[in-house]
């Protein structure tokens, strides 16, 4: 069983629930118009007619301003007090029409929508007393008592309508909050699953391939030692040379395996922000290659999911590696853009370019990474026109 807890901000935000309830707004305005027409029609003198119509208009304007105001939470009680005063003015006009009670029904629905139980009940009680007072001024005693009894049921029904609308809004927002929390939990579970898989691959590489490479290296070292201690050394120099090359290659393979294991077990960006991590890549590229690398940061950096940050980091890494190894470029520009709803990374160089935009395994793997986060990757290149890598990811 899931327990839904309404936060304080969620409850306070319900002070404006009618902003999205167009049917209630429409019903309110129609009610005011109908009551205004009936009230004006039931009066005989000009000035009372104008006063009644004006008060109805002010009532509608106050309602329109109230339900759309962003600060309504601060003056909600004042709003209902103003509407009650306007209703008292309508009573003062002494229209023989009892339809003005419907204005109080509108206020009942509104109050029970924006306020919790006890506060809403107090306002409903005040509206009911005011409606009964109006009935006693309009009708004789017997009809006034009957009208008061009828209003009891009508006001209760109106209050339940408003209360139901409030509960529906609270439930909708609670459900939306749960959905957002589920998305966050899903992202965290995905990150944990990725980390676990990386660790598993690291163990497999270390325990499997690393073990066999180490064993082969020991065997080759033993064979070299055996040849060096026998007379065959003078007769088989090519064998010793081949064994030496094989040993060198195996040592390089072992170093590469250890590097891969370390890369799998650690997060490339570490505890740094994405701009800082890419900035380190740029600084490293300046030192290790004779390239003029520029890094531009546009927009306001903000936290992203670990998968998105890793994808952008790998894109920068792949782009700089390609520029360093194959582009024969003089300058490279790396730009990271933080837009309102997306993040873009572009890497441009002035190198030799290429007629083939398919790329090698590195770019193929990068395409797969970008697709996993619903991103778009675009490659622009041509012979002697440089190379541009653009990655765009929703964020």
Distances (CA, A) of 197 to 50, 206, 350, 362: 78, 14, 38, 20
Banded pLDDT at 392 (limits 50, 70, 90): very high
Banded pLDDT at 199 (limits 50, 70, 90): low
- Contact 149/135 with Cβ under 8 angstroms? no
Cα distance between residue 223 and residue 228, in whole Å: 9
Q: What is the model's pTM?
A: 0.47
pLDDT tens digit sequence for 361-384 = 677 778 888 888 889 999 888 888
Do 104 and 167 belong together in one domain?
yes
In a domain, 189, yes or no: no
Instruction: Dump the DSSP string for 184-233.
Output: HHHHHHHHHHHHHHHHHHHHHIIIIIHHHHHHHHHHHHHHHHHHHTSGGG
Residues with Cβ within 8 Å of residue 306, at least 6 apart in sequence:
191, 267
Question: How many domains is the chain built from?
Answer: 3
In a domain, 99, yes or no: yes
Of the CA atoms within 13 Å of residue 46, those in its CB half-sphere come to 0
pLDDT tens digit sequence for 299-316 = 999 988 878 888 898 888
pLDDT tens digit sequence for 58-105 = 877 877 777 666 666 677 788 788 888 877 877 777 655 566 777 788
Do 123 and 21 belong together in one domain?
yes
Do 348 and 329 belong together in one domain?
yes
Do 162 and 51 belong together in one domain?
yes
In sequence order, the β-bridge partners of residue 163 are: none
Cα distance between residue 252 and residue 272, in whole Å: 30
Do 63 and 178 belong together in one domain?
yes
Distance of CA 296 to the CA centre of its chain: 26
Choosing from 221, 246, 265, the residue where a domain stops is 265
Do 162 and 204 belong together in one domain?
no
In a domain, 130, yes or no: yes
Distance of CA 146 to the CA centre of its chain: 55
Across 123-143, b (16+ Cβ under 10 Å) vs e yields bbebbbebbbebbeebbeeee
In a domain, 24, yes or no: yes
Choosing from 148, 182, 216, the residue where a domain stops is 182
In a domain, 3, yes or no: no
Do 152 and 97 belong together in one domain?
yes
Of the CA atoms within 13 Å of residue 123, those in its CB half-sphere come to 28
Do 29 and 154 belong together in one domain?
yes
Do 143 and 285 belong together in one domain?
no
Cβ burial of 352 (10 Å; 0-12, 13-18, 19+) is middle
Banded pLDDT at 329 (limits 50, 70, 90): confident
Q: Which residue from 149, 155, 53, 151 is spatially nearest to 107, judged by alpha carbons?
A: 155
In a domain, 161, yes or no: yes
pLDDT tens digit sequence for 116-132 = 888 888 888 888 888 88
Cα distance between residue 28 and residue 110, in whole Å: 10
Helix 46-68 vs helix 72-93: crossing angle, to nearest 10: 170
Choosing from 241, 265, 289, the residue where a domain stops is 265
Give the CATH number of the domain where residue 311 resides: 3.30.565.10
How much is the pLDDT for 227?
67
How much is the pLDDT for 356?
73
In a domain, 187, yes or no: no
Banded pLDDT at 5 (limits 50, 70, 90): very low
Do 67 and 137 belong together in one domain?
yes
What is the span of the domain harbouring residue 326?
Answer: 274-394
């Amino acid at each position: 069983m899931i327990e839904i807890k309404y936060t304080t901000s969620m409850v306070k935000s319900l002070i404006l629930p009618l902003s999205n309830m167009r049917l209630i707004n429409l019903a309110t305005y129609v009610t005011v118009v109908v009551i205004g027409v009936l009230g004006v029609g039931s009066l005989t003198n000009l000035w009372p007619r104008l006063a009644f119509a004006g008060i109805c208009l002010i009532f509608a304007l106050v309602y329109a301003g109230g339900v759309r105001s962003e600060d309504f939470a601060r003056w909600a009680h004042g709003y209902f007090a103003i509407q009650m005063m306007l209703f008292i003015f309508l009573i003062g006009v002494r229209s023989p029409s009892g339809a003005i009670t419907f204005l109080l029904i509108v206020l009942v629905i509104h109050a029970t929508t924006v306020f919790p139980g006890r506060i809403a009940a107090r306002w409903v009680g005040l509206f009911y007393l005011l409606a009964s007072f109006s009935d006693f001024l309009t009708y004789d005693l017997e009809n006034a008592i009957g009208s008061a009894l009828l209003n009891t049921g009508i006001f209760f029904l109106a209050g339940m309508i408003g209360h139901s609308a409030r509960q529906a809004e609270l439930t909708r927002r609670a459900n939306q909050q749960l959905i957002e929390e589920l998305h966050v939990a899903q992202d965290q579970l995905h990150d944990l699953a990725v980390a676990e898989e990386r660790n598993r691959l690291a163990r497999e590489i270390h325990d499997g391939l690393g073990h066999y490479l180490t064993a082969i290296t020991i065997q080759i070292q033993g064979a070299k030692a055996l040849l060096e201690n026998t007379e065959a050394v003078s007769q088989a120099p090519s064998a010793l040379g081949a064994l030496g090359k094989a040993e060198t290659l195996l040592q390089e393979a072992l170093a590469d395996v250890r590097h891969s294991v370390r890369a799998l077990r650690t997060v490339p960006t570490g505890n740094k922000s994405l701009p800082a991590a890419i900035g380190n890549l740029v600084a490293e590229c300046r030192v290790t290659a004779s390239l003029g690398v520029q890094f531009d940061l546009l927009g306001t950096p903000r936290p992203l999911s670990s998968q998105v940050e890793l994808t952008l980091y790998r894109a920068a890494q792949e782009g700089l590696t390609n520029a360093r190894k194959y582009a024969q470029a003089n300058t490279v520009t790396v730009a990271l853009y933080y837009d309102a709803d997306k993040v873009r990374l572009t890497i441009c160089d002035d190198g030799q370019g290429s007629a083939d935009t398919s790329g090698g395994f590195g770019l193929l793997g990068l395409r797969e990474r970008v697709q996993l986060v619903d991103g778009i990757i675009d490659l622009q290149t041509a012979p002697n026109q440089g190379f541009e890598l653009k990655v765009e990811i929703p964020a």
